[in-house]
Amino acid sequence: MANYSYPIQFPNSTSPEVEQAFDSFDDELKLDPGKRIQAEAFHRELTSRLKADRIISSTFLQGSFARKTMLKPLRDIDKVVIVDPRHAHLFTDVGTSAVAAELVETALRRYYPDATFSRTRHSIQMDLGANTFSFDVVPAFGADDGTTDVMIIDLKSGGWERSNTRTLIDVVAERNKVCEGLFIHQVRFVKHWSRQVLGDRLPGLHVEAIAFVCIDQPIGHAQAVAGIFACGAQLLSQWSGYMDPTGVDELSSKISNVDREYARQAFASAADRASQALAFDEAGNHDAAIATWNSIFGETFSHGKPVGGDYLRRLGAGAAGLTTIATSTPRTTPTRAWAPR
């Protein structure tokens, strides 16, 4: 564990029963392999078309799909397209980001006439239809300073904004390697909980950033998740904070004080519940431990174990434990986290 002192005692090991429950939970959250293959194939097809028309010189995927922390269903995919150098004149004048966006969008409309298009501040959204994929296509060019950063369109200012998204992908991959492949799974567990409890009050990249601060070594899923909840409650307090995993952006300052306190209370409540689950498991009451984890994560975690009965009644929450904090209607305004420098 790293960088927090929440008063929770972690046992050294987890029972096979709880480990199996987390493994089954992990299987429920994984992207469908067939969908991933389809998405990657479409990514390659789109890249080939844009390169053949000399619109772009290269592309790469970014976001949670690229970092392998995306939750199913696989739907929204972020794709950076590096505009071909022949269009370098687009990069110098005021308002050129809109010109670059038009260049790329015109090509996309020609390739996929049945798709639906819209724009955000940093991307062209191309929705291929229900039960397929939606791509956020981000026109960009490489930063001319020896870094791997890219300059992405900023349609609000009309200019270009630096993004270290490649570094972010590499940093998360390295942390996952240090944690022996466990980290990305543990991130997905907490992102699932956050989606259910916090809605869009806490964007997914914030959850990843909190986990990045809290977990820096291989540790079992139950202990790691309990640690992320405990650590997150501290990081979300008004006297603390957290950076993005690259250490460039202070993400904690980018959410409102109201949402931050709401999230802090939710993390603290989940940390208390997780501590109880660990204590049940350490005492040999594995069904109670699994039922308690179920009260945190919801039915997806049931693993065929009882989710009601005396265990949850003693916790004073019953099956409603999942939404003990988040009882109000979550916001529905779309939020997408970018990683600008």
pLDDT digits (tens, 9 = 90+) for 136-161: 999 999 888 889 999 999 999 988 99
What is the per-residue pLDDT across 37-92, written as a single tens digit (0 to 9) for each?
999 999 999 999 999 999 999 999 999 999 999 998 888 899 999 999 888 776 66
Q: Residue 73 has what pLDDT?
A: 85
Q: For residues 10 and 230, what is the distance between their CA atoms, to the nearest angstrom?
A: 11
Closest alpha carbon to 121 in 162, 167, 152, 78:
152
Q: Cis (ω within 30 of 0) for the bond into 73?
A: yes
pLDDT greater than 80 at residue 309: no
CATH topology of domain 16-30+168-323: Poly(a)-polymerase, middle domain (1.10.1410)
Residue ranges of domains in the chain? 16-30+168-323, 33-163
Q: For residues 256 and 156, what is the distance between their CA atoms, to the nearest angstrom?
A: 21
Kindly report the length of the chain: 341
pLDDT greater than 70 at residue 296: yes
Same fold, 16-30+168-323 and 33-163: no
Mark residue 63 as left, alpha or beta (left: phi above 0; alpha: psi -120 to 50; beta: remaining): left
Q: Residue 227 has what pLDDT?
A: 95
CA-derived radius of gyration, the chain = 22
Between strands 134-142 and 124-127, the pairing is antiparallel
Percent of the chain topping pLDDT 90: 72
Closest alpha carbon to 98 in 126, 67, 120:
120
Q: Residue 14 has what pLDDT?
A: 85
Closest alpha carbon to 216 in 260, 167, 168, 172:
172
| Helix (H) / strand (E) containing 185 | helix 183-198
Q: Residue 320 has what pLDDT?
A: 37
Q: Residue 94 has what pLDDT?
A: 58
The contacts of residue 261 (CB under 8 Å, 6+ apart) are 236, 238
CATH class of 33-163: alpha beta
